[in-house]
């Protein structure tokens, strides 16, 4: 098959992936300011799109991680294998999105590429030390760092603005904490900006990888301007189109996040992602944002972690890379069958994408595919009110159990 045709196919698929990424993650940045009323939905979505666009131009360190570090020097994957890895990532990403499983589009991308490379040229093709350093360790550390930062910042925010109850009653002046909403306008813009720096660059990395492996570019050290421009535009358009989804998420579980917590966690997310992007760590922005939400939930007095829920989400994250790797490898084997294999692979991908869109349209918007994944993480935290409610329920159940031993099932007074 004509190499230019394959490259064009990969570029358009990569941009499509970028678009879905923006589409998918608008809510991560803008759901809180909309829910607290700090921004009107239309304005919030426009700001998010603009910030993603700007963020994409800020750095190319993450793009180089993908175009240079992932695959060992001297191994030429060829455009077909990049294509196979990318289709693996897209298939895994859309399937988990549709099923409502926690997943990371970034890790799906790495998994798909690594899987395809291993299927094509064996284990030695992949530069595992670099994968560990730039993908796996950041995946573990960055959410933790963001969580600690958010926890500390939330504690400080509450401590600094604290007022005694009698003072508030006497003067009728509150703590002013609801004004953190205004701060959230800026902190959520920071999250959108950092999203552009990290996620748009992954697309740039993939496009550069395919340009290098098909001989259109000599080394992956340089990212061409048209690649930066198109990746920036795709993620911005995706972010803007994702707007209708977050309008629907309003009034959901987010009410439990108070403005100071939102401000602290968004600042932590934005700062951590920006610092990591600067050193070329390819993160999952969703995971970092989730770490921050958990940290800020714990930072407020009386917050508790629902560990079983946390375990579920983290397990989903760990599965993403190997699972997408398997899909990427399978798609690589099909592609290796020659031009017909490649065509078959492309058709399967298009069919799956179209099928999922069709089914999700028909089913209207279900709860699971509308909520942002960060909201899933916010469910890990039981707010003070929920903890009190659970304690009250448990006490009632204990009382009832005393009188009547049959009321055992009420004893399971879990929060919600």
Partner 1 sequence: MINWQSFLLVALASIGFTTLVVSLFSFGMRLLTNSKHALLSAKKGKASAIRSEALNRFGAYGLFALCAFALIYGIYLIVPYFHI
Question: Which of these segments, 41-49, 54-62, 392-400, 407-415, binds partner 1 (CB under 8 A)?
Answer: 54-62
Contacts of 400 (CB under 8 A, 6+ apart): 407, 410
**Rule CB under 8 A: is residue 152 a binding residue for partner 1?**
yes
Asked whether the beta carbons of 220 and 212 are under 8 A apart, the reply is yes
- Find the shortest distance in angstroms from Cβ 379 to partner 1: 23
Q: Which of residues 317-376 bind partner 1 (CB under 8 A)?
A: none
**Do 292 and 79 meet the contact criterion of CB atoms below 8 Å apart?**
no
For the bound state, the minimum distance from the C-beta of residue 128 to partner 1, rounded and expressed in Å, comes to 12
Q: Which two tokens stand for residue 184?
A: 């959230």
Specify the DSSP element, H or E, that contains 224.
none
Question: Which span (22-30, 100-108, 117-125, 258-266) binds partner 1, by CB under 8 A?
Answer: 258-266
**Is residue 114 at the binding interface for partner 1, with CB under 8 A as the rule?**
no
Interface residue with partner 1 among 100, 177, 306, 393 (CB under 8 A) is: 177
CB 161, min distance to partner 1, A: 5
Nearer to partner 1, 24 or 181 (CB): 181
User: DSSP character for 38?
Assistant: S
Helices 307-335, 105-121: crossing angle, 10 deg rounding: 40
Residue 277 binds partner 1, judged by CB under 8 A: yes
Q: Is 137 in the site for partner 1 (CB under 8 A)?
A: yes
Of 105 and 194, CB closest to partner 1: 194
Among 26, 36, 105, 276, binds partner 1 (CB under 8 A): 276
* 99 vs 115: CA distance, rounded Å: 22
Closest CB to partner 1 among residues 179, 410: 179
* One residue of 37, 122, 176, 322 binding partner 1 per CB under 8 A: 176
End-to-end CA distance of the chain: 57
Residue selected from 76, 95, 175, 360 as contacting partner 1 according to rule CB under 8 A: 175
Residue number with CB closer to partner 1 (178 or 407): 178
Residue choice 124, 132, 305, 337 for contact with partner 1 (CB under 8 A): 132
Closest CA to 41 of 179, 242, 205: 242
Q: For residue 221, what are its two tokens? A: 């050290």
Residues 6+ apart with CB under 8 A from 382: 303, 304, 305, 306, 390, 415
CB of 64 to partner 1, least distance (A): 11
Q: Check binding of 263 to partner 1 (CB under 8 A).
A: yes
Smallest distance from partner 1 to CB 7, Å: 27
DSSP string, 236-255: HHHHHHTHHHHHHHTTSGGG
Residue 290 DSSP SS3? helix
Residue 99 neighbours by CB distance under 10 Å: 11
Max CA separation in the chain (angstroms): 80
Query: In angstroms, how far is CA 99 from the centroid of its own chain?
Result: 16
> Which residue, among 257, 245, 325, has the nearest Cα to 296 in the 3D structure?
257
**Nearer to partner 1 by C-beta: 144 or 336?**
144
Nearer residue to partner 1 within complex by CB, 61 or 209: 61
Q: Counting contacts by CB under 8 A, is residue 84 touching partner 1?
A: no
The tokens describing 228, both together, are 């930066």
Contacts of 357-361 with C-beta under 8 Å, sequence gap 24+, read 359/98, 360/98
133 binds partner 1 (CB under 8 A): yes
Adjacent-strand bridge partners of 304: 382
Candidates 70-78, 90-98, 271-279, 347-355 — which segment interacts with partner 1 by CB under 8 A?
271-279
Under rule CB under 8 A, residue 264 binds partner 1? yes
- Closer residue to partner 1, CB minimum distance, 39 or 271: 271
Q: How far apart are the C-alpha atoms of 207 and 213, rounded to whole Å?
A: 10
179-208 residues in contact with partner 1 (CB under 8 A) are 179-180, 183, 186, 190, 193
Residue 174 structure tokens: 């509150």
Candidate ranges 55-63, 92-100, 106-114, 318-326; the one touching partner 1 (CB under 8 A):
55-63
Does 224 bind partner 1 (CB under 8 A)? Our answer is no
Contact predicate 243/133, CB 8 Å: no
Q: Does residue 173 belong to the site contacting partner 1 (CB under 8 A)? A: yes
Binding site for partner 1 (CB under 8 A): 58-61, 129, 132-133, 137-138, 141-142, 145-146, 148-150, 152-154, 156-157, 160-161, 163, 171, 173-177, 179-180, 183, 186, 190, 193, 260, 263-264, 267-268, 271-272, 274-279, 281
């Amino acid at each position: 098959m004509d190499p230019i045709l394959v490259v064009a196919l990969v570029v358009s698929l990569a941009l499509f992936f970028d678009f879905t990424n923006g589409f998918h993650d608008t809510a991560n940045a803008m759901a809180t300011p909309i829910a607290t009323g700090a921004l009107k939905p239309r304005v919030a979505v426009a700001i998010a799109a603009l910030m993603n666009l700007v963020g994409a131009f800020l750095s190319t360190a993450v793009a180089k991680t993908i175009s240079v570090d992932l695959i060992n020097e001297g191994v030429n994957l060829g455009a077909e294998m990049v294509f196979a890895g990318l289709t693996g990532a897209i298939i895994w990403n859309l399937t988990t999105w549709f099923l409502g499983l926690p997943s990371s589009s970034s890790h799906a991308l790495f998994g798909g590429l690594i899987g395809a490379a291993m299927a094509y040229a064996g284990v030695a093709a992949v530069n595992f030390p670099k994968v560990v350093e730039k993908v796996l360790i950041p995946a573990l550390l960055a959410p933790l760092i963001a969580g600690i930062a958010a926890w500390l910042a939330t504690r400080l925010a509450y401590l600094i603005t604290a007022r005694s109850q009698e003072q508030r009653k006497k003067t009728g002046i509150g703590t002013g904490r609801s004004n953190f909403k205004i701060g959230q306008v800026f902190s959520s813009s920071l999250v959108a900006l950092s999203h552009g720096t990290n996620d748009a660059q992954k697309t740039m990395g993939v496009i550069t990888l395919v340009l290098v492996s098909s001989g259109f570019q000599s080394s992956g050290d340089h990212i061409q301007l048209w690649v930066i421009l198109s990746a920036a535009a795709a993620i911005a358009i995706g972010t803007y189109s994702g707007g209708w989804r977050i309008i629907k998420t309003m009034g959901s579980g987010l009410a439990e996040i108070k403005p100071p917590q939102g401000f602290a966690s968004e600042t932590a997310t934005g700062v951590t992602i920006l610092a990591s992007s600067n050193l070329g760590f390819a993160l999952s922005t969703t995971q970092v944002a989730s770490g921050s939400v958990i940290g800020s939930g714990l930072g407020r007095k009386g917050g508790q972690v629902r560990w079983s829920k946390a375990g579920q989400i983290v397990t989903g994250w760990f599965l993403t890379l190997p699972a997408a790797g398997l899909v990427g490898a399978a798609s690589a084997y099909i592609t290796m069958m020659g031009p017909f294999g490649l065509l078959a692979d492309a058709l399967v991908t298009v069919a799956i994408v179209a099928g999922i869109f069709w089914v999700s349209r028909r089913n209207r918007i279900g709860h699971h595919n509308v909520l942002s994944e960060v909201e899933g993480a916010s469910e890990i935290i039981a707010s003070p009110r929920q903890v009190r409610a659970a304690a009250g329920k448990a006490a009632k159940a204990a009382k009832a159990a005393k009188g009547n031993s049959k009321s055992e099932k009420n004893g399971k007074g879990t929060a919600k």
